[in-house]
Amino acid sequence: MVTHLRLANRVARLGVETAFVVASKAAAFEAEGNTVYPFHLGDLNLTTPENIIDAAYAALRKGKTGYTPNTGIPQLREMLAYDFNKSRGTNFGPENVAIQPGGKPVISKFLLTVMNPGDEVLYPNPGFPIYESQIAFHGGIPVAYTIVQNDDGFTFDIEGLKKSITDKTRVLIVNDLHNPTSAECSEADRKAIAELAVAHNLLVLIDEAYFDVRYEGVSSSIVTEPGMRERSVVLYTFSKKFAMTGWRLGAAIGPLELIEVIGKLNVNDESCTNHFVQYAALEALEGDQKAVRLILARLQKRRDLCVDILNDIRGVHCFRPNATFYLYPDVTVAMENKGFQTYDELLDAVLRNTGVSMCAREHFGTPLSGELRKHVRLAYSGIGRKDIETGLMRLKYFLEA
Ligand code: PLP
């Protein structure tokens, strides 16, 4: 009898999306008959706009059920290039767009296209955990740069980024409108990052998953900085803006040379993205945008409610970000007040005593040396205002008791 299957060495380097681990703890607690207030996962409890759902049904009925070209149906590539250019001020054509089953696959496909084993890849920590996992899985060396807290919010540590570049650095991952901190590059940051990328000949993944999840101001893309268009692939997703997380729909947008390779990876991996889902995406882009505005308005109200209650909790401080649906409050003093030494102690006690389920700093990469403040991450995309209020008031009573 075989007791141990021999797995490939790389499997040991594969990480997980840690928010899903927190989600399973919350589900187990709920299964014991408890109420859970879910702030852990960046999913939405808002339904996809009706016109998009109708378009999917109509496409199914019209027989849009076979394979499509590997990089997507031409109409969608064209419409996405048009929509993308309109919001970013770029000049991409349909040939620069490779439709994907979600934004996430762009991460591994980009790395497979540009990274050799042993190459160093700069990635944000705290950051979306899949970057580090995929870099290491494919044989690269993940090198963290950080996001720092200042008086107005969180910001990219450009000096730290500069210092982390070595003669082995080949790739840079930037997540502007950042998960988990909601940090946004200033114009000066965008320029500095672009200058570094050009000076060191880096290939860049620009993850813009939250570009359109914005309440105040206007988003700008690093891809428009000099020298960036020809060295960057942008991760685009329909997941968050259109409340379509489970539809699995996104795109890689970039120079033809890279998009052609990513297209070949599509052929090798999934052949193509679901046919009828691509027609729904077409409607998402060219149809009525009223429902999208409503999604944003609801998220903004949730943000304000969360920030107001969190800032009313003794020992907690939370910024009010302009974009994304994540909050990253500083809980250092609240943890000290309660005598919690570790995030595990805090999260376990909070879940058991209040039902509030959330993630902590360590779910977004190993905390770096010299990091003194403690943070948790709350997503308000998957929980309505009534539950936000009840859950966070319970959190307040617990942390202040
Ligand atoms: N990038 C970031 C920063 C994210 O937070 C997420 C999802 O949470 C993704 C990419 C991938 O999203 P999707 O695969 O649903 O497009």
Read off the pLDDT of residues 75-110 as tens digits, 9 standing for 90 and up: 999 999 999 999 999 999 999 999 999 999 999 999
In a domain, 58, yes or no: no
Pocket of ligand 1 (CB under 6 A): 42, 102-104, 128, 175, 179, 207, 209, 237, 239, 245, 250
For residue 113, the model assigns a pLDDT of 98
- In angstroms, the CA 69 to CA 387 distance is 44
- Domain check: are 255 and 306 in the same one? no
Work out the percent of the chain whose per-residue pLDDT is above 90. Answer: 94
Q: Which two structure tokens, joined as six digits, stand for 263?
A: 């297209």
- In angstroms, the CA 244 to CA 232 distance is 25
From the CA of 33, how far away is ligand 1's center (Å)?
A: 31
Q: What is the pLDDT of residues 125-160, one digit of tens each?
A: 999 999 999 999 999 999 999 999 988 899 999 999
Nearest atom in ligand 1 to 248's CA: 15
Domain that holds residue 362: 9-47+291-400
Instruction: Tell me which residue has its CA closest to atom 16 in ligand 1.
Output: 103
Residues written for the chain: 401
From the CA of 261, how far away is ligand 1's center (Å)?
A: 22
Q: What is the pLDDT of residues 209-242, one digit of tens each?
A: 999 999 999 999 999 999 999 999 999 999 999 9
pTM of the model as a whole: 0.96
Q: How would DSSP label each residue in 84-152? A: HHHHH-----GGGEEEESSSTHHHHHHHHHH--TT-EEEEESSS-HHHHHHHHHTT-EEEEE-EEE-SS
How far are the Cα atoms of 5, 97, 145, 208, 248 from residue 281, in angstroms, in the given order? 42, 14, 34, 17, 10
Give 396's pLDDT tier (boundaries 50, 70, 90). Answer: very high
Element (H, E) at 78: helix 74-88
For residue 368, the model assigns a pLDDT of 86
CB-side exposure of 52: number of CA atoms within 13 Å? Answer: 23
- Domain check: are 36 and 110 in the same one? no
By most ligand atoms within 8 Å of CB, the mutation choice from 104, 147, 184 for ligand 1 is 104
For residue 16, the model assigns a pLDDT of 79
Count how many domains the chain has.
2
Choose one of 255, 286, 317: the last residue of a domain: 286
- Please name the residues in contact with 71: beta carbons below 8 A apart, sequence gap of 6 or more: 77, 97, 98, 99, 259, 262, 263, 266
- Check whether the bond before 180 is cis (ω within 30° of 0): yes
- Domain check: are 75 and 38 in the same one? no
Q: Which two structure tokens, joined as six digits, stand for 292?
A: 């999208």
Q: Which two structure tokens, joined as six digits, stand for 289?
A: 């945008």
- Domain check: are 259 and 352 in the same one? no
Give 2's pLDDT tier (boundaries 50, 70, 90). Answer: low
- Check whether the bond before 105 is cis (ω within 30° of 0): no
By most ligand atoms within 8 Å of CB, the mutation choice from 100, 237, 325, 364 for ligand 1 is 237
Nearest atom in ligand 1 to 250's CA: 16
How far are the Cα atoms of 89, 159, 177, 193 from residue 228, in angstroms, in the given order? 13, 20, 18, 10
By most ligand atoms within 8 Å of CB, the mutation choice from 132, 207, 233 for ligand 1 is 207
Choose one of 233, 264, 286: the last residue of a domain: 286
- Domain check: are 239 and 205 in the same one? yes
Choose one of 232, 266, 286: the last residue of a domain: 286
- Domain check: are 225 and 314 in the same one? no
At 363, which CATH number? 3.90.1150.10
Q: Does 326 have pLDDT greater than 70?
A: yes
